[in-house]
A and B are shown apart, each in its own frame.
Chain A
Amino acid sequence: MPLLEVRDLTVEFPTRHGVLRALDRISFSIDAGEILGVVGESGAGKSLTGAAIVGLLERPGHIAGGEIRLDGQRIDNLAAEPLRRIRGRRIGMIFQDPLTTLNPLYTIGRQLTETMQTHMRLSDTEARRKAVGWLDRVGIPAAAQRIDAYPHEFSGGQRQRVVIALALCAEPALIVADEPTTALDVSIQAQIITLLKDLTRDHGTAVMLITHDMGVIAETADRVAVMYAGRIAEIGPVAAVIRHPAHPYSDGLMASIPSLEHRVNRLRQIDGAMPRLDAIPSGCRFHPRCPHVFGRCREQQPELLDAGSTRAACWLHADG
């Protein structure tokens, strides 16, 4: 049984101009110890998927259909209090901006011990000892002294380390990391990614890694889901999706990324832009931009179909 199972997840936003469907029947699963990358361009719905899983959808957005199971137990229909216990204890979160995650008025030691003591039975000394241990593990130098410092006394990279410690300290089974390295410079980014990978390997934690950076996914994730306009366009092992993308959108996306290895004269570009939620095209959402479009694409929406080693929502794979 997978650790996290999402089936037909649909998220809607009622507005004055009608209901906007931001996520449309998304299904995927993550096993224990696995890192699933979720990639897509802004507005594709990747952050929304993460927010729905941790129960932090911003109103008036709400789950309008489908279910989310953690260890077989449904978590999408829980009341506020049981959900709060699961969030933090069973699911940890890392967001893009460490400054908004940390409380500027509390020392980081207090934030760590408070998180642990909310979810676990620990004495004050025990919690503090563990907090120092976590800071040490995420690579904060002189952890025993730095534990009484406030967030502003740390640099950006160190703050993100503290946030990771905070997400991990209650030893959750699943971590939802939304653009954890986007605000950081490449050299710091590499440190954080290495750290995240090591920690999840050591603790068997499952990770849902949401990012727009295909490079980060390539070296971190086991599998990847490519999202487009509120749907999963393709999902499969990371090497397969990158080297032999089966969906024309993932194909275009990979080709549009400039490479460090060799220089091309022109980058392949996908013309046009992702549709707005109030103007979703009929049939396949990608068809107006797709170089392989044919009749069926304009009328019928494809579900995920087997496409070699990945699964792609594309009619090109209808008979394979």
Chain B
Amino acid sequence: MVERPTLEAIAVSHFFDVSRPFLQRVFTGEPRRRLRAVDDVSFVIAPGTTFALVGESGCGKSTIARLAVGLYEPSNGDIVFENQALSSARAQPAMRRRMNMIFQDPYASLNPRWRVSDIVAEPIRAFRLATRPNEVQGRVGSLLASVGLTVRDGIKYPHEFSGGQRQRISIARALASEPDFLVCDEPTSALDVSVQAQILNLMRDLQQRLGLTYLFISHNLAVVRHMADRLGVMYLGRIVEQGPAEAIFRRPRHPYTRLLLDAIPDLEQVGRARTPVGGELPSPIAPPPGCPFHPRCPLANERCRMEKPAHVTADSVQVACHAVEEARDG
């Protein structure tokens, strides 16, 4: 039996209107301009698993994070949460409490004027998961304990904590509404590596204990490798390769995935010279025709410049690349 997915994105696109003001357009005759942040993206996240999206800045991964919790409405396509359209799921408090988000910056995402216990108690009160003060405090205490803080930390303010501890507070708050699904947008990229290890371990422990489902967004491939069950590699608003994380790391197929993996400095390769990826990310306002990666791709040919590649599945990995499809990739 196939398990019902926790979250499903079906051909989702999201545009931002970046046109000049109306009057200016009238005078200059300039058309409306749209930025395609997310372009025809589909994926499925099974319950209790981690789906990771990786890519460079501007590839659209944070926009997907926001779409997945309903902070943005998709311009096209559908997002389905537990067999319901996300917008209708968000309209019911009982469903809404089951999804939550952890942000990148633990300094900006906690209210500096609230005590930690109030920050963590807010979702409990908002969703009426407990009403008696004792009960609320009991829940806050056990949430703080589950992320490695103490009850006594509850009376402090966020500024009294280090970055890693603040991220623990964010996680406790995210867990307070007893969610099943967490969207984690670069949860460790503001942290030092030894603290990052603490938070990643904590997130894996919590996932195993509570059966959480994660949409995990990161630019760091090594972190993604540590966390992901399935992986999507994004480039200019498109998922260019997706499949089981192990399969992709063992044998990256898309030229962009390969270049990305090659560009990462790794401890096990001291003194190795990297092969730098040439060029830079093109503007998503005027993406190149054909395959968006063709201007930087070593395998690009005429077809890549003309025709957008479709996703082709091979060995459970989906790749959008003409070169892979035609076996020109060596």
Q: State the A residues within 8 Å of B (CB).
A: 41-42, 155, 157-158, 185-191, 193-194, 197, 212-216, 218-220, 238-239, 242-243, 252-254, 256-261, 263-264, 266-271, 273
Contact A242 B267 (CB under 8 A): yes
For residue B316, CB closer than 8 A to chain A, the reply is no
A-B contact pairs, 6 of them (CB 8 A): A219-B270, A239-B270, A242-B270, A259-B268, A260-B222, A273-B162
Q: How far is the CA of A301 from the CA of B210 in the complex (A)?
A: 44
Nearest CB in chain B to that of A243: its residue = B270
Which B residues are in CB contact (< 8 Å) with A157? 280
Contact A41 B271 (CB under 8 A): no
Min distance, Cβ A37 to any Cβ of chain B, angstroms: 11
**Binary CB contact string for chain B from 250 to 288 against chain A (1 if under 8 A, 0 otherwise):** 000000000111011111111111111110110000000
Contact B267 A257 (CB under 8 A): yes
Contact A266 B201 (CB under 8 A): yes
Q: State the B residues within 8 Å of A (CB).
A: 56-57, 162-165, 192-198, 200-201, 204, 219-223, 225-226, 246, 249, 259-261, 263-278, 280-281
Which A residues are in CB contact (< 8 Å) with B270? 218-219, 238-239, 242-243
Q: How far is the CA of A260 from the CA of B222 in the complex (A)?
A: 5
Contact A239 B197 (CB under 8 A): no
Which B residues are in CB contact (< 8 Å) with A218? 265-267, 269-271
Across chains A and B, the number of contacting residue pairs, with CB separation under 8 Å, is 131
Contact A187 B272 (CB under 8 A): no
Q: How far is the CA of A273 from the CA of B164 in the complex (A)?
A: 8
Nearest CB in chain B to that of A270: its residue = B194
Nearest CB in chain A to that of B162: its residue = A273
Question: Given the known A-B contacts A267-B200, A271-B198, are A191 and B271 also in contact in the complex, defined by CB atoms under 8 Å?
Answer: no
Question: Given the known A-B contacts A260-B222, A269-B198, are A187 and B277 also in contact in the complex, defined by CB atoms under 8 Å?
Answer: yes
Q: How far is the CA of A279 from the CA of B270 in the complex (A)?
A: 36
Contact A41 B56 (CB under 8 A): no
Q: How far is the CA of A193 from the CA of B163 in the complex (A)?
A: 28
Q: How far is the CA of A256 from the CA of B194 in the complex (A)?
A: 5
Question: Given the known A-B contacts A213-B265, A216-B265, are A257 and B193 also in contact in the complex, defined by CB atoms under 8 Å?
Answer: yes
Nearest CB in chain B to that of A268: its residue = B197
Nearest CB in chain B to that of A192: its residue = B276
Contact A186 B194 (CB under 8 A): no
Min distance, Cβ A258 to any Cβ of chain B, angstroms: 4
Since A185-B281, A191-B278, A258-B197 are in contact, a sample of 16 more A-B pairs with Cβ atoms closer than 8 Å, ordered by chain A residue number, is: A157-B280, A186-B260, A187-B56, A187-B276, A187-B280, A190-B265, A190-B274, A218-B271, A243-B270, A256-B193, A258-B225, A259-B267, A259-B268, A266-B204, A269-B197, A273-B165
Which A residues are in CB contact (< 8 Å) with B163? 42
Question: Given the known A-B contacts A185-B56, A185-B281, are A41 and B266 also in contact in the complex, defined by CB atoms under 8 Å?
Answer: no
Which A residues are in CB contact (< 8 Å) with B195? 41, 273
Min distance, Cβ B149 to any Cβ of chain A, angstroms: 13
Q: How far is the CA of A239 from the CA of B267 in the complex (A)?
A: 9
Min distance, Cβ A44 to any Cβ of chain B, angstroms: 9
Which A residues are in CB contact (< 8 Å) with B162? 273
Which A residues are in CB contact (< 8 Å) with B265? 189-190, 193, 213, 215-216, 218-220
